[in-house]
């Protein structure tokens, strides 16, 4: 890992309106890392991010942050016992923008600077840095309501960083962005992380987190079910193959049924014009596939075989956990 533990949860459980949302979460977050929290909608990702800054009181367990005493000794303090102190040192950018549409870009930044009690000199310096970092200088006098979707995301993140936080929490930061804006946003997040900020990102976009994060945790139904670096998680995928097939006329239910009967595939699903098959032995499955296609008078248009991706692994883990 990049550094020492800066934030951690211990047996953290959160209950909201009588429903258990998080169940005994144990997580160490390291200084300087980019951590990705993967989960489907409703898995508890947003609740976890909010709980890390003390928004929801724990049903059990707690969240702790690293603190240095005057004699430089490292201790861990409860976030929930020292909420105001801790929140001065973190930034949070949620899916819903937290800035004010009727204020300009610079007025929003000034407001959040005053919220954190920054003096005039510090406030002006931070605003200059953030306008440059987020490429908002030319838009500084524009009303927030007039900004494009991508620039609104940038402004929201800039407001979350006005206090120069050691930890930045981002909830679905690239949601609803087109591929170009998404790539720009990730470049920006990387730049923030490279400057030493610990970044915690919650998202359902596995391929993005796999590409950019140092470490990933998979959350399903309020529990952590897997944790590791992208490489470690990919390595834990059982040996097997993913086969992408297109045939004509394309009677995929019959084809899948025949292959399952021969016990050469473990899973089959239709997606658009293709049939996706998962097989423990790819070569054997491919041979049986060709034989089955011939038997059913299916003309093979294209076939592609490769190792299952981390997206496939995530989907399988979630399915197993929900059974």
Bigger pLDDT: 220 vs 122? 122
Domain boundaries, the chain: 1-89+166-186+195-237, 96-164, 241-307
Comparing C-alpha atoms, which of 212, 178, 174, 171 is closest to residue 43? Answer: 171
In this prediction, residue 247 carries a pLDDT of 95
Per-residue pLDDT at 120: 94
What pLDDT shows up at residue 318?
Answer: 62
| Confidence at 226, pLDDT banded by 50, 70, 90 | confident
Whether residue 237 is predicted with pLDDT greater than 70 in this model: the reply is no
> What's the distance, CA 117 to chain centroid?
31
Least confidently predicted of 5-9, 135-139, 317-321: 317-321
| pLDDT above 80 for 309 | no
Asked if 170 and 200 touch (Cβ cutoff 8 Å), the reply is yes
Q: What is the mean pLDDT of residues 42-48?
A: 89
The beta-strand segments (E) located in the chain are 5-16, 19-30, 34-38, 60-68, 74-78, 90-93, 167-171, 198-203, 215-220, 223-228, 241-248, 267-271, 274-279, 299-306
Q: Could you tell me the CATH superfamily of domain 1-89+166-186+195-237?
A: P-loop containing nucleotide triphosphate hydrolases (3.40.50.300)
Q: Is the pLDDT of residue 232 over 90?
A: no
Token pair for 46: 């947003």
Q: In the predicted model, is pLDDT for residue 320 greater than 60?
A: no
pLDDT tier at 20 (50, 70, 90 boundaries)?
A: very high
Query: 175-206: per-residue pLDDT in tens?
Result: 888 899 999 999 999 999 999 999 999 998 88
At 13, give phi and psi (nearest 5°).
-125, 135
- Comparing 52 with 278, the larger pLDDT belongs to 52
pLDDT at 131 over 90: yes
Average confidence (pLDDT) over 72-89: 93
Integer Cα distance of 72 and 67 in angstroms: 9
> How large is the average pLDDT for residues 302-313?
80
Do domains 1-89+166-186+195-237 and 241-307 share one topology? The answer is: no
* pTM summary value: 0.81
CA 204: distance to chain centroid?
Answer: 6
CATH number assigned to the domain with residue range 241-307, chosen from the 4 options 3.40.640.10, 3.10.450.50, 3.20.20.80, 3.30.70.1510: 3.30.70.1510
């Amino acid at each position: 890992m990049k550094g020492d533990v800066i934030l951690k949860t211990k047996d953290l459980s959160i209950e909201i309106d009588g429903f258990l949302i998080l169940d005994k979460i144990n997580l160490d977050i390291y200084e300087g890392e980019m951590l990705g929290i993967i989960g489907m909608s409703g898995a508890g990702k947003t609740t976890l991010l909010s709980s890390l800054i003390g928004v929801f009181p724990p049903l059990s367990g707690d969240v702790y942050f690293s603190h240095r005493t005057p004699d430089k000794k490292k201790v861990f303090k409860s976030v929930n016992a020292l909420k105001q102190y801790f929140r001065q040192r973190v930034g949070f950018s949620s899916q819903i923008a937290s800035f004010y549409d009727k204020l300009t870009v610079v007025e929003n930044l000034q407001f959040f600077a005053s919220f954190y009690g920054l003096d005039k000199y510090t406030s002006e310096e931070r605003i200059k840095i953030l306008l440059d970092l987020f490429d908002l200088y030319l838009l500084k006098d524009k009303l927030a309501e007039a900004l494009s979707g991508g620039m609104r995301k940038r402004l929201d993140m800039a407001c979350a960083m006005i206090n120069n936080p050691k930890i930045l929490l981002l909830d679905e930061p690239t949601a609803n962005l087109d591929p170009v804006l998404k790539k720009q946003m990730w470049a920006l997040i990387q730049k923030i992380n490279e400057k030493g900020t610990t970044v915690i990102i919650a998202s359902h976009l596995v391929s993005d987190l796999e590409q950019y994060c140092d470490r990933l945790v998979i959350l399903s139904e309020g529990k952590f079910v897997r944790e590791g670096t992208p490489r470690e998680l990919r390595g834990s995928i059982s040996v097997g193959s993913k086969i992408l097939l297109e045939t004509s006329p394309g009677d995929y239910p019959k084809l899948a049924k025949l292959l399952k009967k021969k016990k050469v595939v473990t899973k089959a699903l239709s997606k658009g014009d293709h049939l996706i098959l998962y097989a423990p032995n790819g070569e054997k499955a491919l041979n049986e596939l060709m034989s089955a296609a011939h038997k059913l008078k299916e003309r093979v248009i294209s076939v592609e075989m490769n190792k299952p991706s981390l997206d496939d692994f995530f989907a399988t883990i979630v399915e197993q956990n929900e059974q």
